Amino acid sequence: MTDIFDELQWRGLVAQSTDEAALREALAEGPLTLYCGFDPTAPSLHFGNLVQLVVLRHFQRAGHKVICLVGGSTGLIGDPRPTSERVLKTKEQTADWVARIQEQVRPFLAFEGDNAALLVNNLDWTAPISALDFLRDIGKHFRVNQMVRKDAVAARLESEQGISYTEFSYQILQALDFLELYRAHGCTLQTGGADQWGNLTAGVDLVHRVEGKSVHCFTTPLLTDAAGTKFGKSEGNAVWLSADMTSPYAFYQYWINVEDASVVKLLKVFTDRTPDEIADLEKQVAEEPFRRTAQRVLAADVTTLVHGAQATAAVQAASEALFGKGDLSGLDPRTLGDATAELPGADVAVGTSLVDALVAVGLVDSRNGARRAIGEGGASLNNVKVTDPDQVLVEDDFLHGAVAVIKRGRRNLAAARRG
């Protein structure tokens, strides 16, 4: 596939576009400039933002000029949610999160070389505008009857809480970004998630009203599993791209545990695998699903993209070691800590018997059950089978002085954390 739009469609990365034929023509005429915005609503980007970063990577690799916008001004306001008003963050906190996210996006794009990406902050052009100039020069181009049709705004207007003018004005601010980037950099395309369609088209309309020029936008679809549940949630917690919010080990395990029905779709979206490679992996899912080959490829590729090859190798080693296929003592302290943090467990003191430790970490219900497990050869400590029911935990059993891994059977693991 030589056409960037064809590839994006094949990868399942196009949901809506303003005028597909005109956009294809613009793409065919030569490199264009596009942007995507990321608001600092948290100290880290998350699963959903990764989709947009992947789209920008595809465009940059195809020779187009990419602008990555981090919303220092839009982040102070907040895109309206359908349910309730956002709690406004302080200017200081927002600025801190902007700086964090600016650093976080850098590994995904090339910011040096002949076709370097550009990193911008919309606070730079929004802050100097007076309220009167904003209303006279920008606000006059918007019609309230159109603004209230936006899904989130309409839902809030029908609720008891309503919507503040602050959040209602968000779409004007985002539209202003497109106008500014068109003027300053010749930007003619904006991308975003499907839930941003109203904001994106507001920018297209503003550029047309003010400059008399036609520009474009398209959205990526909301990714859901076979049951229709939004991807990116793990037991109620977002899958973050920052290693201090979702560890590389937990991140890797999230992708390893993707269901068979969704893995091919996610391989297309998040990896650079070719159609032939993905067809082969799809065949393996159908013929040998128990091997989870496609999930392993997906987990390795996406973890490498986000955290780097070294982190991927470390978490793969940890995953293997936890299930008896590697040396637990060879894991570095952070990777070991991240891996065992995902396990059930309890605080256990040096000198505790293995029988009591098995009970404490929840692998058996009673001391008799623990003795039975040991007697049957079904218990191990740090991947070494336990044969003596009177064995006790000594200092050296706590890897890096912190945790001992106890196993019952082949796959029931727990962490005895030194108490």
Least confident of 15-19, 134-138, 149-153, 269-273: 149-153
pLDDT at 234 over 70: no
pLDDT at residue 1 in the model: 41
Q: Decide: 388 and 317 in contact? Cβ < 8 Å.
A: no
In terms of domains, do 112 and 177 share one? yes
Half-sphere exposure of 227 (CA within 13 A, CB side): 5
Q: Which of 222, 253, 276 is the last residue of a domain?
A: 222
Nearest to 245 by CA among 231, 230, 263, 232: 232
In terms of domains, do 218 and 228 share one? no
Q: Tell me the two tokens of residue 70.
A: 């981090």
In terms of domains, do 185 and 227 share one? no
In terms of domains, do 172 and 74 share one? yes
In terms of domains, do 378 and 325 share one? no
Q: Decide: 123 and 173 in contact? Cβ < 8 Å.
A: no
The domain that holds 63 is classified in CATH as: 3.40.50.620
Tell me the pLDDT band of 86, cut-offs 50, 70 and 90. confident
In terms of domains, do 206 and 251 share one? no
Interval 285-308 mean pLDDT: 97
In terms of domains, do 258 and 299 share one? yes
Interval 86-103 mean pLDDT: 95
Q: Virtual CA dihedral for 187, 192, 197, 200, nearest 10 degrees?
A: -20
pLDDT at 366 over 70: yes
How many domains does the structure of the chain reveal? 3
Alpha helices, H only, 190-247: 197-211
The residue segments making up the domain with residue 245 are 223-336
Q: Decide: 217 and 201 in contact? Cβ < 8 Å.
A: yes
Phi-psi region of 317 (alpha: psi -120 to 50; beta: other; left: phi over 0): alpha
Q: What is the pLDDT of residues 123-161, one digit of tens each?
A: 999 999 999 999 999 999 999 998 998 888 988 898 888
In terms of domains, do 21 and 150 share one? yes
Q: Decide: 48 and 241 in contact? Cβ < 8 Å.
A: no
* DSSP H or E segment with residue 65: strand 65-70
The domain that holds 281 is classified in CATH as: 1.10.240.10
Half-sphere exposure of 21 (CA within 13 A, CB side): 0
Q: What is the pLDDT of residues 102-128, one digit of tens each?
A: 999 999 999 999 999 999 999 999 999
In terms of domains, do 162 and 235 share one? no
In terms of domains, do 130 and 241 share one? no
Residue 85, C-beta contacts closer than 8 angstroms, at least 6 positions apart? 161, 163, 164, 167
In terms of domains, do 242 and 352 share one? no
pLDDT at residue 237 in the model: 67
Q: Which of 289, 310, 336 is the last residue of a domain?
A: 336
In terms of domains, do 228 and 349 share one? no
The domain that holds 417 is classified in CATH as: 3.10.290.10
* DSSP H or E segment with residue 196: none
Q: Which of 305, 336, 367 is the last residue of a domain?
A: 336
**Arithmetic mean of pLDDT over the chain:** 94
